């Protein structure tokens, strides 16, 4: 299932430098490149001449040139030129709405006429000097909705991430779930616990002791089609927890952009934005490395889960109270998908 009339993170700007990038998103094979004045463009990855992949070509003077016979493609999907040929009658290929914003390349795989960049959910930490960000991207062999489930229920941290962010108090503490329109929120607050290794390192990174009890929080925000931002942090116990003054805590936003590739594979753009000690580049690199290892553990679980589900497509899965966030998110996804399928 894909929601095509929506914005997805397609790439990071450094992936589309001097060469085009081919990437499949929501089943659509797309060629991304920088056209006139360096503005990102996106067209169907299909040369109208012989069906070659345009993304395997090159960019010349803002035109995407097919590496097979030299056909030059414009940003709107119309052939501009081809050696020795008149191209006026060449059929146009599909072009896509694409925007560079917040340090990412966003694409709208569906009806281009419906694409409004104003509907890209605002990211308060992006392009903000009071925040630092580090992240990466994984290609994962699973249904993108399994990742939404994973991120909206962090109970698994106790068992999957035993050496980094997991601790027994996570599954001992109840989780609350609520929906505000299409925005689903799950939250868990743990009081007077010892910080796990990842958060001990972050406390030290903010000049705080790592051997004292802390109040810890996890607040997950789902926005369709597949964006999950997670407020996470620890504060020295008794200093106000989530609302503590910044000098007593280390807090961040876990950034999760989930972009479907096929029915059983996805692009996962992950990262962490923080508003403490933001000029320390070594700390940014340290957090990125630690977070990358955490998400690699999730990848192994999710890919094995997908293989199991493919082997047993008719097995009914249990729905527990801890699954409420993922269940609510899926209901929103299903509703929006049904609306998208209705004839206009």
Residues 22 and 72 in one domain: yes
Instruction: Map tokens 């803002």 to a residue.
Output: 62
Residues 171 and 75 in one domain: no
What phi, psi does 13 have (nearest 5°)? Answer: -55, -35
Expressed as residue numbers, the domain containing 136 is 132-341
Residues 85 and 144 in one domain: no
Residue 124 belongs to some domain of the structure:
no
User: Which two structure tokens, joined as six digits, stand for 74?
Assistant: 């414009």
User: Which two structure tokens, joined as six digits, stand for 315?
Assistant: 């097995």
Residues 137 and 104 in one domain: no
CA atoms of 221 and 151, how far apart (whole Å): 9
The sheet carrying 28-34 orders its strands as 21-25, 28-34, 40-44
> What's the total number of domains in the chain?
2
- Cα 9–14–16 angle (5° rounding)? 75
Residues 71 and 191 in one domain: no
Residues 108 and 152 in one domain: no
Prediction pTM value: 0.94
CA atoms of 257 and 84, how far apart (whole Å): 44
Residue 127 belongs to some domain of the structure:
no
Residue 2 belongs to some domain of the structure:
no
Residues 251 and 295 in one domain: yes
Residues 147 and 289 in one domain: yes
Residues 106 and 144 in one domain: no
Residues 47 and 69 in one domain: yes
CA atoms of 268 and 190, how far apart (whole Å): 28
* Per-residue pLDDT tens over the stretch 86-143: 888 899 999 999 999 999 999 999 999 999 999 999 999 998 999 999 999 999 999 9
Residue pair 209/247 in contact (Cβ under 8 Å)? The answer is no
198: CATH: 3.90.380.10
CA atoms of 243 and 89, how far apart (whole Å): 64
Residue 279 belongs to some domain of the structure:
yes
Per-residue pLDDT of the chain (344 residues; tens, 9 = 90+): 799 999 999 999 999 988 999 999 999 999 999 998 899 999 999 999 999 999 999 999 999 999 999 999 999 999 999 998 888 889 999 999 999 999 999 999 999 999 999 999 999 999 899 999 999 999 999 999 999 999 999 999 988 999 899 999 998 999 999 999 999 999 999 999 999 999 999 999 999 999 999 999 999 999 999 999 999 999 999 999 999 999 999 999 999 999 999 999 999 999 999 999 999 999 999 999 999 999 999 999 999 999 999 999 999 988 888 889 999 999 999 999 999 988 76
């Amino acid at each position: 299932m894909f929601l095509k009339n929506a914005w997805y993170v397609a790439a990071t700007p450094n992936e589309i430098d001097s060469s085009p990038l081919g990437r499949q998103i929501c089943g659509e094979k797309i060629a991304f490149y920088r056209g006139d004045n360096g503005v990102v463009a996106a067209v169907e990855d299909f040369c109208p001449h012989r069906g070659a992949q345009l993304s395997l070509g090159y960019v010349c003077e803002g035109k995407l040139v097919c590496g097979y016979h030299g056909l030059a493609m414009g940003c709107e999907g119309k052939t501009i030129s081809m050696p020795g040929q008149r191209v006026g009658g060449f059929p146009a290929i599909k072009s896509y709405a694409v925007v560079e914003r917040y340090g990412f390349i966003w694409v709208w795989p569906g009806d281009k006429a419906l694409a409004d960049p104003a509907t890209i959910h605002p990211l308060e930490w992006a392009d903000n000097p009071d925040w630092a960000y580090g992240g990466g991207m994984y290609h994962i062999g699973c249904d993108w909705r399994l990742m939404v489930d994973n991120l909206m229920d962090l109970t698994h941290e106790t068992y999957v991430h035993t050496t980094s962010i997991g601790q027994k108090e996570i599954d001992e503490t109840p989780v609350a779930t609520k929906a505000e329109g299409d925005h689903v929120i799950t939250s868990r607050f743990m009081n007077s616990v010892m910080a796990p290794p990842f958060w001990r390192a972050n406390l030290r990174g903010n000049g705080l002791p790592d051997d004292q009890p802390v109040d810890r929080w996890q607040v997950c925000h789902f926005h369709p089609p597949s964006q999950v931002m997670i407020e996470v942090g620890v504060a020295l116990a008794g200093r106000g927890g989530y609302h503590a003054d910044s000098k007593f805590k280390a807090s961040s936003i876990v950034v999760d952009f989930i972009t479907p590739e096929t029915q059983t594979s996805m692009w996962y753009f992950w990262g962490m934005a923080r508003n403490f000690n933001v000029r320390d580049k070594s700390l940014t690199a340290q957090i990125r490395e630690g977070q990358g290892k955490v998400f690699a553990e999730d990848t192994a679980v999710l890919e094995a889960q997908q293989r199991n589900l493919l082997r047993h497509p008719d097995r009914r899965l249990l729905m527990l109270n801890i699954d409420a966030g993922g269940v609510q998110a899926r209901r929103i996804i299903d509703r929006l998908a049904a609306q998208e399928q209705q004839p206009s």
